[in-house]
Amino acid sequence: MRATIEQLSQVIIFSQLPSDNLEQLQPHTQIQAYSQGEIIFHEGDTLPETLYALILGIIRVSKTSSTGKETVLRTLTKGELFAAPAFFGDGIAPATVTALIDCQILTVKRAALLDVIRESPEIALTILSTFNKRLQQLHNTVHGLVSERAIVRLAQFIQDAIEEQGTLKSPLPYYQIARSIGITYEECVRLFKQLHNIVTYQRGGKITVLDPEKLEAIAKGVLEA
């Protein structure tokens, strides 16, 4: 099924495009629906030369080690891009992408998008900026796993989630947070209890920051929880 003009405009990089550019892209788009828990693609899969964007739902991006341990790299919400190698790289999926709830994925053929980029070069800058931010977040995650205490990594993770999603539009269950910052489920529960005056956690993964300044200080490693 092709995307509608309205669906195309929901993608961050297309939101400011004039309607004639969107109409130019439309014949080269496809919408695919996925059910909760369904794998969109596995790490190592070969991907077609397309741009991937999420237009409905929430997805999880994760990697699995040789020992079978899963690490959640990020969760993405409506309007966001993913699977950069399909557009820029070797076409090999670097991670597994799973639908956390019912989702709709938009794909745009690379050749068609390049034609539009020639007319509106600012799209390329937005795409590069989006993926550069992801690389920086990944670098910070790897650095934190090596050098920062778990409480610091947790505070940084909460800050990043709030920065990306405003008021945490998507829930963050304990297991997902634990896999994202390299700790056990039990330790994650213990750390949230330690932060109870700064951050509250409600059933289902709803997180509320009570004291942003103290959370910032913990994230910088200058305050003990």
Domain of residue 211, CATH code: 1.10.10.10
pLDDT at 132: 74
Q: Tally Cβ neighbours within 10 Å of residue 203.
A: 7
* Domain final residue, candidates 111, 136, 161: 136
- Do 162 and 132 share a domain, yes or no? no
Encoding tokens for residue 219? 């994230």
pLDDT at 143: 57
- Do 195 and 159 share a domain, yes or no? yes
First to last CA, the chain: 51
- Do 43 and 85 share a domain, yes or no? yes
pLDDT at 166: 45
- Looking at the structure of the chain, the number of domains it has is 2
Residue 21 φ then ψ, to 5°: -70, -40
Is the full-model pTM beyond 0.85?
no
pLDDT at 139: 60
- Do 76 and 10 share a domain, yes or no? yes
Helices (H), the chain: 5-9, 19-25, 110-119, 122-147, 150-165, 174-181, 185-194, 212-219
- Do 127 and 183 share a domain, yes or no? no
Residue 46 lies in a domain: yes
Q: Which has more pLDDT, 197 or 122?
A: 197
- Do 165 and 113 share a domain, yes or no? no
Lowest average pLDDT, out of 46-60, 108-122, 137-151, goes to 137-151
- Do 19 and 130 share a domain, yes or no? yes
What is the rounded distance in angstroms from the CA atom of residue 3 to the CA atom of residue 23? 10
Encoded amino acid at 214, one letter? K
Instruction: Please say if the pLDDT value at position 65 is more than 80.
Output: no
- Do 27 and 112 share a domain, yes or no? yes
- Do 92 and 12 share a domain, yes or no? yes
- Do 87 and 180 share a domain, yes or no? no
- Do 108 and 203 share a domain, yes or no? no
**Coil/strand/helix, residue 66:** coil
Residue 141 lies in a domain: no
Q: Which has more pLDDT, 139 or 69?
A: 69
The residues, any chain, with a CB within 8 Å of residue 104's CB and separated by 6 or more, are 7, 31, 32, 33, 34, 54, 55, 56, 57
pLDDT at 145: 56
* Domain final residue, candidates 79, 106, 136: 136
- Do 29 and 73 share a domain, yes or no? yes
Report the share of the chain in percent with pLDDT over 90: 33
Residue 157 lies in a domain: yes
Residue 225 lies in a domain: no
Q: Tally Cβ neighbours within 10 Å of residue 156.
A: 22
Q: Output the CA–CA distances (angstroms, integers) from residue 131 to 49, 70, 174, 190, in the order listed.
A: 17, 22, 26, 33
Tens digit of pLDDT for each residue in 164-223? 544 565 678 888 888 888 888 899 999 999 998 999 888 878 888 888 899 999 988 877
* Domain final residue, candidates 101, 136, 171: 136
Domain of residue 79, CATH code: 2.60.120.10
If you ran DSSP here, which 8-state letter would residue 46 be given?
A: B
Range of the domain at 83: 5-136
Residue 128 lies in a domain: yes
Judge whether 81 and 13 are in contact, CB under 8 Å.
yes
